[in-house]
């Protein structure tokens, strides 16, 4: 991948200089920035090898020097992604001795884990963190979110609540729930545990945005806080009329 802003084939939008994609899905890639004449996704920057020594801030903005970004790009030109087979892989498994590298967008397809906290470590399918619980789903166990079968064992795509060990769900389902609920309202959908549940989900690579739930943005429940101020009786007998109310009683 050459230095500077790239354009994907058939698109006038500049591509991320680290992953080569023009996608602008904030929930997946983080915010999209254009700085120093280059375009990049916040998460592509945040997880790139040694680029952001302090990860990313609360606004999903990577903290780095442009010289380091250029150095990372040049190193990635010689690195193949073990998932898609293309050059430009900027993320390497954090396990000592493992040299598997991949693009941030390829992580899920390659069953990799990216931890959105602290040092923003990443792990390949072989070295990803495992749930310490010994329980396993039965033949008829379904995902508590989508109600579809979860399979007969824990896997990359099948997880269980570490607190109650009864709530089973698909990785994609709990990730969707996390993005909708945000850190303020995210909890086990069955036992409602937060402390143990959230820590485990973050460790397993579930991204939980540090914001209020999405349903508070569209005022979907705003009507619940509105007091009805009009009498709807067919024969209103209040002297002040239907639009008036008593101060007491």
Q: Is the dihedral of CA 59, 79, 85, 16 positive or negative?
A: positive
pLDDT at 2: 38
Please give the structure tokens belonging to residue 238: 């209040």
- Distance separating the N- and C-terminal Cα atoms of the chain: 73
Locus of tokens 């040049």: 74
Q: Where in the chain is the domain with CATH 3.30.40.10?
A: 6-123
Provide the sign of the torsion angle of the four alpha carbons 38, 43, 49, 53, taken in this order.
positive
What pairs with residue 59 in β-bridges?
none
In this prediction, residue 146 carries a pLDDT of 96
Q: What is the pLDDT of residue 223?
A: 64
State the number of CA atoms in the 13 A half-sphere of 124 facing the CB: 17
Q: Which long-range contacts (CB under 8 A, 24 or more apart) does 139-148 make?
A: 141/168, 142/168, 143/168, 143/169, 143/170, 143/173, 144/168, 144/169, 144/189, 144/190, 145/169, 145/170, 145/173, 145/174, 145/176, 145/177, 145/189, 146/170, 146/173
Report d(CA 45, CA 56) in Å as an integer. Answer: 8
Provide the pLDDT for residue 225: 66
Spatial distance between the Cα atoms of 241 and 230, rounded to a whole number of angstroms: 9
Contact (CB, 8 A) for 188 and 160 = no
Alpha helices in the chain (DSSP H): 26-29, 42-47, 66-76, 171-185, 195-203
CATH code of domain 6-123? 3.30.40.10
Buried b (16+ CB within 10 A) or exposed e, 43-77: bbbbbbeebbeebbeeebbbebeeeebeebbebbe
Q: Are 139 and 110 in contact (CB under 8 A)?
A: no
**Can you give the pLDDT at residue 1?**
40
Provide the pLDDT for residue 11: 55
Distance CA 241, CA 96 (A): 77
Paired residues of 32 in beta bridges: 41
User: How far is residue 212's CA from residue 5's CA, in Å, rounded to a whole number?
Assistant: 34
pLDDT of the residue at 89: 96
Residue 13 CB: number of other CB atoms within 10 A? 12
Q: In a structure prediction context, what are the per-residue pLDDT tens digits for the chain, which is 249 residues long?
A: 433 334 444 557 889 999 988 887 888 888 888 888 889 898 999 899 888 754 454 444 556 788 888 999 999 999 999 999 999 999 999 999 999 999 999 999 999 999 998 888 999 999 999 998 888 999 899 999 999 999 888 899 999 999 999 999 999 999 999 999 999 999 999 999 999 999 999 999 999 998 889 887 766 666 666 777 778 888 888 877 777 766 554
């Amino acid at each position: 991948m050459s230095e500077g802003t790239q354009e994907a084939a058939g698109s006038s939008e500049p591509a991320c200089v680290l992953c080569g994609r023009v996608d602008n899905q904030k929930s997946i890639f983080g915010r999209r920035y254009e700085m120093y004449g280059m375009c990049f996704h916040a998460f592509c920057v945040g997880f790139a090898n040694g680029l952001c020594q302090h990860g990313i801030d609360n606004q999903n903005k990577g903290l780095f020097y442009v010289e380091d970004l250029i150095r990372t790009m040049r190193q990635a030109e010689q690195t193949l992604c073990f998932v898609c087979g293309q050059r430009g892989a900027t993320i390497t498994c954090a396990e000592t001795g493992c040299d598997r590298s991949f693009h941030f967008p390829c992580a899920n397809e390659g069953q990799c884990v990216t931890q959105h906290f602290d040092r923003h470590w990443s792990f390949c399918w072989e070295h990803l963190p495992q749930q310490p619980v010994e329980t396993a789903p039965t033949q008829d166990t379904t995902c508590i979110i989508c109600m579809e079968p979860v399979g007969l064992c824990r896997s990359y795509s099948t997880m269980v609540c570490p607190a109650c060990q009864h709530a089973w769900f698909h990785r994609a389902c709990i990730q969707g729930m996390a993005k909708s609920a945000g850190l303020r309202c995210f909890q086990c959908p069955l036992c409602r545990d937060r402390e143990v549940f959230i820590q485990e989900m973050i460790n397993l690579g579930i991204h939980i945005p540090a914001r209020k739930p999405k349903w508070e943005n569209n005022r979907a429940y705003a009507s619940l806080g509105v007091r009805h101020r009009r009498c709807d009786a067919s024969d209103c007998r209040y002297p002040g009329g239907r639009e008036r109310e008593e101060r007491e009683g």
